[in-house]
Amino acid sequence: MKIKTLSVTFRAFIVVGLVVGFIAAPGSGLFSGMAPTATHAASREPVRANNGMVASTNEVASRVGVDVMKRGGNAVDAAIAVAFALAVTHPAAGNLGGGGFMMIRLNNGKTTAIDYREMAPAAATRNIYLDKNGNLIEGEGGSLVGYRAAGVPGTVRGMELALKKYGSGKLSWSQLVEPARRLAAEGFTVTYNLARSLRGDNDYLSQYAETKRIYLRGGKFYDEGEVFRQPDLAATFSRLQRFGPNEFYQGQTARMIVDDVKRHNGLLTLEDLRGYVAKERQPLRGTYRGHEVISMPPPSSGGAVLIEMLNVLEGYDLKKMDSASSDRYHLMTEAMRRAFADRAEYMGDSDFVRVPTAGLIDKSYAAKLRLTIDSERASTSEAVQAGRPTGYESEETTHFAVVDGAGNAVANTYTLNNSYGSAAVAKGTGIILNDEMDDFAAKPGTPNMYGLIQGERNAVAPHKRPLSAMTPTFVLRKDGSLWFTVGSPGGPTIINTVLCVITNIIDYDMNIQQAIDAPRIHHQWLPDELVFEPYGLSGDTQKALLARGHKLAKPRYLGDAAGIMLEEKTGVRLGATDPRRSDGLAVGY
């Protein structure tokens, strides 16, 4: 995902953070020998609510979810309505034409994962994105742009499965689709960020006439404050209401998608759509300092890589290091480096390849990795290769979180991959198609759009699901009750965003808003560079990291996290969205 927007709130907090949060950071070269202090950057308070809470990247969608809960729906019902609403109001990532992952935790403690990740069409073969010389095809016909880049969408089937198994039974499919249909038909007010995003992606969205007509108004850009109506998308939602989820995969909508794909030499067929299946999977479970961490299993790499990094960091007393110190950032970087090396080697769709998940998240494996970390010097990614875990077992995305009044919770991350997916809208449907095929290793060992190196286990194959970094996560209190949930968009930076938030809360006693507001870092093994945020590291901390041997990349903002925390003594829901985007809002009642 490409994070393009920056709110005034965030500018304020990071400047204040430079003054109050980082000036005396141990390990930064200032006041060495002083005891570490819990220095937090300035932050707004989280949104408080006694009953239900929705935290998403779009205020309109958050309010849709709250309205569903007020009408008697549970967190799953609300999440479905939010997902469909975001397909209208947040077109860069909200979708019908993509896929993702939904984590559900019921108030009785039952936790499950719904995998509605896109699948490769039957015509997708291992070398389909290579030219006759074995090089990656660029542009049209490749894995990033246009109709051939699209995998089989899973969002509608994922919402269907969630509703059938975990919905309240009080609201129908048609009722949960209605808010999105109405938003598409009647329109919604264009925000500053949406107007700027559409203008910024003008060249990308202009490649296909249908996309240009809808999102660029034929070259007459939408301005902030105008009403954006999408009648084709409204008609698609109307068909979904009348005929149910099968309509998307077998009905008129399916035929419209496939006809347009065929006209543009794409891969999707009616058989591909009919054959798509959303799957329920067992979540991954780990612990960090006595708190259970529950996250997504393969084909997402998020849960395994997150738990592996937490296991490594558990061996260090981070509380004794300032939250903004080079000591903390050095150790986090080394944990990231090793876990992402393992990701490149071992991760893939566990329905197709053997993934050593149990070994990767084993604490004894983390202890071996810690032995390879020098507390004073950076490793080089050239020297750090994938480890040897034991035990095999048979940048556009958006995340939102929901907790209802009964304590049921949903953490959902879904995507089109690139901002506005493949840039192709299936004619007559209003649906942006994903470019998720780039999340496969189109040529194993060659970087994808995020610079990620991926291995043979993630090679393209028919009906296979591409590897993901999506990391919707629950963290429990030591008594087993839900403490908080968090997730983020951002391609591979998703996992490290979630890592930063979790350690901010557990190691530095931040609330959910402070933890999301705080500056982040990212390292993904290759390229061998440490990414940090503008104003996120003091000059002295940067010098200290360089002196240890780290290579610093050009600063950029990381992620767009959303989360909900349950206050310990009161049970009040604390909702938080990311100031890195100003359209996000937590809404409760």
From the number of C-beta atoms within 10 Å of its C-beta (0-12, 13-18, 19+), residue 103 rates as buried
Which residues touch 182 (CB under 8 Å, ≥6 apart)?
none
d(CA 342, CA 356): 10
d(CA 101, CA 297): 10
From the number of C-beta atoms within 10 Å of its C-beta (0-12, 13-18, 19+), residue 187 rates as middle
d(CA 20, CA 322): 12
Q: What dihedral do alpha carbons 354, 357, 363, 367 form, nearest 10°?
A: 60
Residue with tokens 């049970």: 571
Nearest-Å Rg of the Cα atoms of the chain is: 22
Task: State both tokens at 85.
Answer: 């609403």
Residue with tokens 């010098």: 543
Give the Å distances, CA to CA, from 105 to 75, 282, 295: 9, 12, 11
Catalytically active residues are 397
Do 378 and 548 meet the contact criterion of CB atoms below 8 Å apart?
yes
d(CA 280, CA 164): 12
Which residues touch 253 (CB under 8 Å, ≥6 apart)?
236, 239, 240, 247, 429, 431
